[in-house]
A and B are shown apart, each in its own frame.
Chain A
């Protein structure tokens, strides 16, 4: 009974956080609209997210609020055009990028590059706009929002010849193929008993380490889930990889009770298991200590999710240390935690997974939702 109560309580906390986040004062848009078109006197709303800029009684242009998918979530900006379809300015209202990347893009004045362009230009990264090296996703979000927004506004001028938005082709390349193959391989490995199954799982983990870890460096993280909870659904044509990640983890779990991602795909899991294999990993933890640690684990993840929901910023509380290992970037704390986890992995089996990983905590929660008997999981 107590377990059921706890489950309900957690749900309550998350809902409360979600509501709190929704009610937080939304960034006032007016200063940014003005920034996009400084020489207008007043702005009148003439439709859904579109404003008319006026000087006296004359319409001098239009300003449109447009969003596009950034790296950490939607990026919203105000873009203005004049009656000839020339872009007069763009001002970012809200974004979910990490501050360092965003500042990098703004210091290179990417919005400034777009001033003076026409809606009939290509307005594409790499074609006629130079992105900011090392911040491609953020650059692309800004350029996309300006392109789509300016053209949407331009369609209000009947005399302008606005190019149709090219239907984005589905991005399906090697990363997506590899990821799907790994899920299939992992699922198969879990279905075969004995040495063959174990060997297949080992191969899958090794491949996951190389590809998902070092080459692509896009493992499953908390921000993927919190983003979903906030309703940030990036366009599946561009972000198929992320959807495969989430679906590949959730579907087998909910249908068959098996977590294929953790067992056979996760690169950090692969590292820990490799170290466990070499180091023996014979350390045992007493049940009382283990349960206490698990309690702390759940509390940590719950706090991270709630905070992200309140801030409406999926990446803000994504505390994973994978970047320090696979990309050699991160704070001192992340490096230190990574180091500790690696050393502990020699003595205890998968310590990060069992006591720190947000995905594993989510899995435990979902299992509790289903039934009590299926709590064994991969352990």
Chain B
């Protein structure tokens, strides 16, 4: 099976490098600083989102569509919330500075 083979993971590794390079370039163009810890947070978020995608797929493949649906909701919602928060605090602001939270 292709997607469970070593070749697949090899390709995923290449894609990961491409993503990181693209991210770096994008951050430089938008004048957003990308210190190691920001990258770390993004990687963590990526691990969670990737886990969610893989969990949904595995549940479907296993023949447990209910688990795919529920797991999809339960894992995707925090991923979206975290993505929004990461964008707010780590991403570019309107004037290039970190936005103030509304009280």
For window 187-219 of chain A, which residues contact chain B by CB distance below 8 Å?
198
Using A332-B66, A343-B84 as known contacts, list a sample of 5 further A-B pairs with CB atoms less than 8 Å apart, ordered by residue number in A.
A278-B88, A280-B99, A335-B70, A335-B74, A339-B74
Would you give the shortest CB distance from A124 to chain B, in whole angstroms?
39
A332 to B65, CA, bound (A): 12
Can you list 12 A-B pairs with a CB-CB distance of less than 8 A?
A278-B85, A279-B85, A279-B88, A280-B101, A280-B102, A332-B69, A332-B70, A336-B73, A342-B77, A342-B81, A343-B77, A346-B84
- Total residues of chain A contacting the partner, CB 8 A: 17
For window 270-286 of chain A, which residues contact chain B by CB distance below 8 Å?
275-282
Give me the 10 closest cross-chain CB pairs, A-B, nearest first.
A339-B77, A335-B73, A346-B84, A339-B73, A343-B80, A280-B102, A278-B85, A336-B73, A342-B77, A279-B84
Closest B residue to A339 by CB, please name it: B77
For window 43-91 of chain B, which residues contact chain A by CB distance below 8 Å?
66, 69-70, 73-74, 76-77, 80-81, 84-85, 88
Closest A residue to B89 by CB, please name it: A278
A346 to B79, CA, bound (A): 13
Asked if A277 and B102 make an inter-chain contact with CB atoms under 8 angstroms apart, the answer reads yes
The interface residues of chain B lying within 8 Å CB-to-CB of A342 are: 77, 81
Is B5 on the interface with A (CB-CB < 8 A)? Answer: no
Known: A332-B70, A346-B81. A278 touches B101 (CB 8 A): yes
A336 to B80, CA, bound (A): 13
A346 to B99, CA, bound (A): 14
The interface residues of chain B lying within 8 Å CB-to-CB of A280 are: 88, 99, 101-102
Known: A335-B73, A339-B76. A275 touches B81 (CB 8 A): yes
Asked if B103 and A277 make an inter-chain contact with CB atoms under 8 angstroms apart, the answer reads yes
Asked if A281 and B102 make an inter-chain contact with CB atoms under 8 angstroms apart, the answer reads yes
A-B contact count (CB 8 A): 41
A114 to B69, CA, bound (A): 43
- Total residues of chain B contacting the partner, CB 8 A: 16
Closest A residue to B85 by CB, please name it: A278
The interface residues of chain A lying within 8 Å CB-to-CB of B80 are: 343
The interface residues of chain A lying within 8 Å CB-to-CB of B81 are: 275, 279, 342-343, 346
Closest B residue to A279 by CB, please name it: B84
Closest B residue to A337 by CB, please name it: B73
A276 to B101, CA, bound (A): 9
Closest A residue to B69 by CB, please name it: A332
For window 310-344 of chain A, which residues contact chain B by CB distance below 8 Å?
332, 335-336, 338-339, 342-343
Would you give the shortest CB distance from B28 to chain A, in whole angstroms?
26
A30 to B51, CA, bound (A): 58
A359 to B90, CA, bound (A): 37
The interface residues of chain B lying within 8 Å CB-to-CB of A198 are: 103
Asked if B101 and A277 make an inter-chain contact with CB atoms under 8 angstroms apart, the answer reads yes
A43 to B75, CA, bound (A): 59
A296 to B91, CA, bound (A): 37
A63 to B16, CA, bound (A): 75
The interface residues of chain A lying within 8 Å CB-to-CB of B73 are: 332, 335-336, 339
Choice from A282, A332, A338, A343 contacting B102 with Cβ under 8 Å: A282
A346 to B7, CA, bound (A): 40
Would you give the shortest CB distance from A237 to chain B, in whole angstroms?
39
A279 to B91, CA, bound (A): 13
